[in-house]
Structure 1
Amino acid sequence: MGTVPATFARTFAAVAGLALDASGELADGARVLLRVPPGERLDEAHYHALIEAVVAHHGDRAGLAIGYAEALHLDDLGALGLAVKTAPRLRDSLQRVERYYRLVTDSVRYRLDETAAPLFLLDRDGPTREDEEVRDECALAGFARNMRRFVGPELRLEEVTFAHPCRLDAGRLAEWFGCPVRFDAPRTSIAFAPDVLDLPTRLGDPAVSRFLTAHLDAQLAALAPGDPLERALAAHLSEALSTGVPRAGAVARALGMSERTLYRRLSDLGLTYQGVLERTQRSLAESLLAEGHHSLAEVAFLTGFSEQSSFSRAFKRWVGRPPGRFRRAAPIA
């Protein structure tokens, strides 16, 4: 089962005038509407339940989509958001979303299709439920609003389409998007004029963008196939290591469980927290060293070490040679 950042849930709740607190209670003042597991990520089942509760409370789906888009910023996507903003052109930004969005959530995918008129597509597995319809409306509205933020008023949308039936004020949504909005379409997408993809971004910085995409590539490399819990743990660790090695209790809370439950579930898989941590550090370090864009001190910092010497000793223990020799032997990208 996929997971989503709790930031998405808190933003969606706030648009409806509700609060999702640290204990996992969704409340309208003193009245609790729903309880979900606390943490920095929600599994799909609890996120669906939260969306249903918010829609039942608020009722205005067009208002929810517009409010969500205005409230959510690219900075909420962490390193991916910065990589999208600093990409040189809109095409580069959308290609980064296509490649790296699974670091944010593994429940939906985005794709840039330029075979005919350019389309930014949302791909979803399986049948669409009503709460997923709301999620899709919010998602495309959010991307449209943020594209206008980092590209500017030159951005023109040709059409927005949804694969599900219309259950909201389509005219209001079309006015907000600034283009026709069509439902019961073959796909869920945003269509652009061909020249729009070449528009420069306001904060385009090739050097910063290369730095961030190298870091994101290393995070992708750390997401080796395995049990969903192992993948979720590795993804969280890859993002968190640049601020130091997180304690197991803090990671467990971010994943929506107790520290004891995390240890037990890892043990059931024949894994340990320390083992997953070190494999993630090693995979991240190998990717960053092979990229060649970072100094050894930067690689040490990004993999959770406060000192380069400690990192070098650990890397030699993992790989059998110091990081400098590993880098010199790595194929040139």
Structure 2
Amino acid sequence: MESAVTGTVRVGYVRALLDYLEDHDLATASVFSPELQQRLDDDCLSERIPVPLWSDLLAKAIAVTDDEHLPLKLAQSIIPKHWGVFAYAAMTCKNLAEVAAILIRYERLIDDANDAKLLADGDQIALQWIPRIPDLHPALMQISVASWVVFAQRHTGRSDLIADVEFSCPPPRDITQYQHLFGGRVRFDQPITQLRFPKDYLQLPITYHDPESHQLLVSQVIQQIQDLKRPDEYQQTVRGIIVQQLSHGRCTLDSVANGLNTPTRSLQHQLEQSGTSFRQLLDNTRAELARHYLDDPDMALVDVAFLLGFSEQSPFTKAFKRWTGETPGEYRKRHTG
């Protein structure tokens, strides 16, 4: 059951979706709960939320707007603040080859959904999107791959750059906007998601190249990656205890501290140092497990509530709506039909 606990995404990336919906006068309240909107404040953009929640938000935004091209439009609206220091480090690279190296090594600062891989094939380069989590919404790969192209065009000053693109997901009803954005051949239902472009592109200079700034920014990126790894390791240990205890009944701060053989106050302090709290970690773990259980149409909602440590279905329904903006029944209907 621990496999239901997955990676995280930078809140700034999620903020890009909120900004896009607001800029186009679209229904943000139908996608984001008030609690989640509060977390998307400018002072909290480096915080993290679970990748499955990010996936659900994208799916909900596409459904609410009835716009299958929303991932492409969102990719074009992303600005440096959404990606943080990662974006500024990439913007000060010498050329696209350095940008690709930054992407492959440090994209985890943005999200844990995928890895990037660069392969040479004669005079062509393949930049591949490798999923780290199964059954992700196609929008995640579409945004990532489109963002790569938009960044290259924008920061080389070459809007004429084109690339062939292959997606592992089924095709949308209309691929016109895909053809317009990528410029080359667009194919779906392929074995792997990837961009293919001329090898010469890697030597294209970046407009804002600044060696001194770049060195400083890369050091900050490395520090953030290290900081990201440390809390992940501790939080993952705490999550494991939470998952174990939830399966046997109610889970509390004291019971988890006992499970870790550590004082309660010490557990609280260590979680605060890692950028979270017991309540936030419990909520995130419950939310992820809830989605995992709800994907099984034969599991009764009351059983899901009990497995998550709720005494009855009503408080579970209220909590799930706070986490996701919809009821468990609505989530299950949308995901299982």
Q: Give 1:132-211 correspondences, 5 Å limit.
A: 132-153=137-158, 156-211=161-216
How many Å separate the matches in 1 of 2:24 and 2:15?
Answer: 7
Q: CA 1:207–1:34 in structure 2 vs 1: closer, same or farther (change >3 Å)?
A: closer
What secondary structure sits across from 1:186 in the alignment?
coil
Aligned to 2:94: 88
Q: Report deviation, 1:145.
A: 1.1
Identity across aligned pairs (percent)? 21
The residue identity in structure 2 corresponding to 1:181 is V
Q: CA 1:278–1:35 in structure 2 vs 1: closer, same or farther (change >3 Å)?
A: closer
How many Å separate the matches in 2 of 1:8 and 1:224?
Answer: 19
Q: Report deviation, 1:178.
A: 1.6
Q: CA 1:110–1:49 in structure 2 vs 1: closer, same or farther (change >3 Å)?
A: same
What secondary structure sits across from 2:206 in the alignment?
coil
Q: Report deviation, 1:10.
A: 3.2
Aligned to 1:214: 219
The answer to whether the Cα contact below 8 Å between 1:159 and 1:191 also exists between their aligned partners in 2 is yes
Q: CA 1:166–1:277 in structure 2 vs 1: closer, same or farther (change >3 Å)?
A: same
The answer to whether the Cα contact below 8 Å between 2:167 and 2:188 also exists between their aligned partners in 1 is yes
Q: Report deviation, 1:202.
A: 0.3
What secondary structure sits across from 1:180 in the alignment?
strand
Structure 1: segments with no counterpart, 5+ residues: 21-26, 234-260, 281-333
Match among 128, 135, 140 for residue 121 of structure 1: 128
- The number of aligned residues is 243
How many Å separate the matches in 2 of 1:227 and 1:141?
Answer: 28
How many Å separate the matches in 2 of 1:135 and 1:159?
Answer: 18
Q: Give 1:222-241 correspondences, 5 Å limit.
A: 222-224=227-229, 230=235
Q: Report deviation, 1:124.
A: 0.1
The residue identity in structure 2 corresponding to 1:61 is E
Is it true that 1:70 corresponds to 2:59 in the alignment? no
How many Å separate the matches in 2 of 1:268 and 1:19?
Answer: 48
TM-score by length of 1: 0.62
The answer to whether the Cα contact below 8 Å between 1:109 and 1:123 also exists between their aligned partners in 2 is yes
Q: CA 1:176–1:158 in structure 2 vs 1: closer, same or farther (change >3 Å)?
A: closer
What secondary structure sits across from 2:54 in the alignment?
helix
How many Å separate the matches in 2 of 1:70 and 1:224?
Answer: 30
TM-score by length of 2: 0.61
How many Å separate the matches in 2 of 1:199 and 1:267?
Answer: 57
The residue identity in structure 1 corresponding to 2:118 is L
Q: Report deviation, 1:37.
A: 5.3
Summarize deviations over 1:179-229 as a string: whole Å, max 9, x none: 221111222111110111011100111221111112222333344467556
The answer to whether the Cα contact below 8 Å between 1:36 and 1:46 also exists between their aligned partners in 2 is no
Aligned to 1:112: 118
The answer to whether the Cα contact below 8 Å between 2:13 and 2:110 also exists between their aligned partners in 1 is no
Aligned to 2:306: none
How many Å separate the matches in 2 of 1:262 and 1:8?
Answer: 30
How many Å separate the matches in 2 of 1:138 and 1:190?
Answer: 13
How many Å separate the matches in 1 of 2:199 and 2:89?
Answer: 23
What secondary structure sits across from 1:160 in the alignment?
strand
How many Å separate the matches in 2 of 1:36 and 1:43?
Answer: 17
What secondary structure sits across from 1:4 in the alignment?
strand
Q: Report deviation, 1:158.
A: 3.0
What secondary structure sits across from 2:94 in the alignment?
coil
The residue identity in structure 2 corresponding to 1:123 is I
Summarize deviations over 1:302-332 as a string: whole Å, max 9, x none: xxxxxxxxxxxxxxxxxxxxxxxxxxxxxxx
Aligned to 1:7: 12
The answer to whether the Cα contact below 8 Å between 2:163 and 2:182 also exists between their aligned partners in 1 is no
Match among 49, 70, 85 for residue 56 of structure 2: 49
Structure 2: segments with no counterpart, 5+ residues: 1-5, 40-46, 239-251, 276-337
